[in-house]
Structure 1
């Protein structure tokens, strides 16, 4: 059984259609890269999976359970952890408060998150608004892990970060992969993304146009669909 099964979904912004039959599947323990140029439907697909922007048609199954009629908080409780684009930490809460606000029992504890991101332990009592952008991104990842998800979704987790912080985030992603966590990741840095991905799914104009393993994503395909 697939952990996530996205079947022919169509999603609209008001009267404007954004997704036209997007479909892909991922198994437990896989890292899947969701790829495409800007504006091709990657973030909309993620919002649809989390039911933040419910599809108008199609079906989505998580661990065999259909999620389309579930409110976003119930999708999260099924085991979907989202690190949204733009981080969206709670600015007026401390690092510690952000981490424990939505914590659920499981393998990921405060201690494990602090081991993964030691800076969070150092800034335990700081308000989230006072952190650097990179530290806020670590906090967003840590907050999602504290929900003990079966699927972690990362939407542009390294965008706009300093190179040293980007490496910290990629190191964490590799650690999570080695730990067996299923990850759906959107990122533009192919040199970092492809080595960690088991499979790739490419979107263009709101449609799934290609899927395969990183070693079969040829230079021609990259140029055609990713603008490289």
Structure 2
């Protein structure tokens, strides 16, 4: 069953067009990788889907509801949870307060988040601003999970993190996948991203130029669309 369907998405920043007809879809329980070089439209696509940027044309359907042009808080209430680039935890709230601030429903609890990320349990009374970058990323993921999302969106899941922390994040993503969580993930570390993804979409200059299984993304295609 299709959970998210994006067709012909066009988005502008003022007079400058950033997306030129992006197509994307995600099934229930599927992990989809959104890929492309820097500046090709990945974050703009996510921002357009969740309503932070208003697209000018196209269609977005989530869980059978047309969400094109809908306000971000309404989209979030439908079950779309975002882990934004840059994490954006509430700096003056503790770890526990950050998590409880977004709690909705009963599937995800503070205890379940701590089971996924034990470090957060150890630091439950620390202010978010005192955490390391990796711990803040764990907190941002946990905070999104506390909304009990039907779709979890990870924008730059492990960017700038130490290798040991990246492995903790990827381990958590694999556990979420095994539990049936639908995930849209952006990341540049192909060695970790491709094994966890069911399908990949690649953007180039604001257009979808590839869709398929990770195995179909050959070294030649990786070099063409993802190489520096």
Specify the TM-score bucket, using the shorter chain as the normaliser: over 0.9
The aligned runs of 1:114-129 (5 Å cut-off) are: 114-129=114-129
> Quick one: distance in 2 between partners of 1:31 and 1:44?
19
2:152 is equivalent to residue 142 of structure 1: no
C-alpha distance in 1 between matches for 2:214 and 2:97: 38
Q: d(CA) in 1 for partners of 2:106 and 2:189?
A: 31
In the aligned structure 2, how far is the partner of 1:60 from the partner of 1:153?
Answer: 15
Structure 1 residue 86 corresponds to structure 2 residue 90: no
Paired residues of 2:50 and 2:75 also in contact (CA < 8 A): yes
| CA deviation vs aligned residue, 1:131-169 (integer Å, no higher than 9, x gap) | 000000000000000000000000001000011000000
Kindly provide the CA deviation profile for residues 62-117 of structure 1, in whole angstroms up to 9, marking residues without a partner as x: 01100013210010000000000000000011101100101101311111000000
SS at match of 1:61: strand
TM-score (norm 1): 0.99
5+ residue gaps in structure 1?
A: none
Structure 1 position 225 matched with structure 2 position 219: no
Corresponding position of 1:97: 97
The residue number in structure 2 matching 1:35 is 35
Aligned to 1:55: 55
Residue 24 of structure 1 and its aligned partner are, at CA, apart by 1.4
Matching of residue 68 in structure 1 with residue 68 in structure 2: yes
Structure 1 match to 2:191: 191
Distance 1:126 1:226 in 2: 39
| 1:25 shift after superposition | 1.1
TM-score, normalised with respect to structure 2: 0.99
Residues 29, 181 of structure 2: 8 Å contact kept: yes
3-state SS, counterpart of residue 60 of structure 2: strand
Q: 1:84 & 1:211 partners in 2: Cα distance?
A: 23
Total equivalences in the alignment: 228
Q: Structure 2: any 5+ residue segments left out of the alignment?
A: none
Residue 43 of structure 1 aligns to a residue whose secondary structure is: helix
Question: Would you say the 8 A contact 2:22–2:208 is kept in 1?
Answer: yes
SS at 1:193 equivalent: helix
RMSD (Å), alpha carbons: 0.7
